[in-house]
Amino acid sequence: MKTKYLLQTSLIAVLMISFYACENTSKEEEVQLKDIQLNLNDKLSFGHFFPQRELAFSDINEAVQLQNIPSEFVDYELKSFTFNIAQAYYQDFKNEKISAEEFQMLQQIYQIDTTQLSSTEIPSKLYMAIGEIQNGNRAVVVDTDLDLDFKDEKLHEFEYPIRFVDEDDEEFYQRNKIEFLPKATVQYGDDETEQFILLIDPYEEDLANNTYSEKYFLSISIPKLKTQELQIKDQTFIIEAKSNFTQVQKQSEKLQFLVFQKKDSIEVGNEIDLLRFQLNDTINLSNNDFQLTYENGEFILKSLGYNNRPTGSSEGFFLPKIKTNYLDGTAYAVEEYEEQFQLFYFWTTWSLPSLEDVAQLKKIQKDQKNVAVVGVAVDANQGAVKRMIVRQEMNWKTLYAPSETANNLKPALQLKVMSFPTYILVNEEGKIIKRTHHLKEVVEVFAVEE
């Protein structure tokens, strides 16, 4: 009897401890975290953004007269680079160099907001000269004040070809090349803040395509990064923000953000693991939702509360509510895929690699009875999309948002898809379990499931 009483007492104690533990955990989860005001610091780095570069071409307009080419050059080429594409295309449209139809298409591609542009002529293109100098080395000079005159501009001399002492020397250079490559500060407006640092890379000739060949190769990028570490509960996160790699963005609220947990190492340039966020996106950190906002000139992570079922576009998150239509105009509804896996297949008519897996997708659709392929066509040409679906015999429904559709209703933008093909596999619970550019990785998931 005594033993039975002790057992009952112990059981009650365990239950009470469990109850209080659960209650305390619940209360802890319900505690609203404070908003976090960000203090992003400028840094000369790409951080974990993939350091894309753009070619500077030898396509100088004959009407452009560049003055005071440095006398040190014994041979050179003139190159140009458009650092403000939106303004440049808008000026071409205003000057009737391109038609209204062409400009409308470019507006959609580059998301050009004409209300933020000047109707008067302002500099949007940068000129450079690169060549061999008298001592046998190479050099580059940049028109940093955009006055079409190289007078008083610095001549950046560099070793060519670059010669490494050993493999360690080359590895060290690759890790720290942003420190060693020539740089120039370009002033593009009257305000002292209207400037950017240009990184000049004359070595990466593998960027060139098969048809591109010039004596003096030159690629460029803008390596300015804003970054900050922050602590949320017991985890450390890093925020990185950039305007663009090769385009100037004056509006702070149009920066792109990476937010990730601090680890010993994170693979640079991995789009799948390091997705970009934009202003007003919701980010889940330590099972708490935050909205990235911009108020009174300050970036703020606004606390939205505890959420252990966060929605997002990367693996481990639950699929957000997608507001979009199929190609025939009917609305997409997640309910029609209850108790099924959804395999979103993002493709476009102008990317042939994105169409190479159609046969394999048909096989998946046939063999995996609990998997529904959902095509997502990202293309301005609706007629071409319809023809391609018939040509390829795509026997699944396809989501499609015309160009004039608002950005928040375009599935590719909602799910942050930037290249094609992209596959997003969602399980029966609505959780994203695989995001990849390679269909074979999706097939491997099915093999494990079986």
Pick the last residue of a domain from 198, 221, 244.
Answer: 221
Can you say whether the dihedral through the CA atoms of 130, 132, 133, 138 is positive or negative? positive
Q: Quick one: 206 and 71 in the same domain?
A: yes
What 3-state DSSP class applies to 193? coil
* Helix residue ranges, H only, 153-305: 167-180
Q: Given this model, what pLDDT does residue 91 score?
A: 87
Give the separation between CA 66 and CA 128, rounded to whole angstroms.
9
Any domain includes 293:
yes
Any domain includes 439:
yes
Summarised one tens digit per residue, pLDDT across range 144-177 is 999 999 999 999 999 998 999 999 999 999 889 9
List the structure tokens of 42: 């400028």
Pick the last residue of a domain from 221, 241, 259.
Answer: 221
Any domain includes 217:
yes
What 3-state DSSP class applies to 94? helix
- CA 418 from chain centre, in angstroms, equals 7
What 3-state DSSP class applies to 449? helix
Q: Given this model, what pLDDT does residue 15 score?
A: 45
Domain tally for the chain?
A: 3
Q: Quick one: 149 and 253 in the same domain?
A: no
Q: Quick one: 236 and 179 in the same domain?
A: no
Q: Quick one: 73 and 173 in the same domain?
A: yes
Q: Quick one: 61 and 184 in the same domain?
A: yes
Any domain includes 104:
no
Q: Given this model, what pLDDT does residue 273 score?
A: 56
For the chain, residues with pLDDT lower than 50 are 1-7, 11-12, 14-15, 17, 19-22, 25, 208, 210, 268-272
Q: Quick one: 385 and 274 in the same domain?
A: no
Q: Given this model, what pLDDT does residue 30 score?
A: 60
Q: Quick one: 347 and 444 in the same domain?
A: yes
Any domain includes 392:
yes
Can you say whether the dihedral through the CA atoms of 164, 170, 173, 177 is positive or negative? positive
183-187 and 422-426 beta bridge pairing: unpaired
CATH code at position 387: 3.40.30.10
Q: Quick one: 352 and 440 in the same domain?
A: yes
What phi and psi, each to the nearest 5 degrees, are found at residue 180?
Answer: -95, -20
Summarised one tens digit per residue, pLDDT across range 99-118 is 887 887 777 667 777 887 88
Q: Give the range of the structural domain holding residue 235, as residue numbers without chain letter.
A: 41-46+224-306
Give the separation between CA 274 and CA 277, rounded to whole angstroms.
9
Question: In which element (H, E) is residue 311 found?
Answer: none
Q: Do residues 241 and 40 make contact, with C-beta atoms less than 8 angstroms apart?
A: yes
Pick the last residue of a domain from 199, 221, 243.
Answer: 221
Give the separation between CA 437 and CA 420, rounded to whole angstroms.
7
Summarised one tens digit per residue, pLDDT across range 282-341 is 888 988 999 999 999 899 999 999 998 888 888 888 998 888 999 999 999 999 999 999
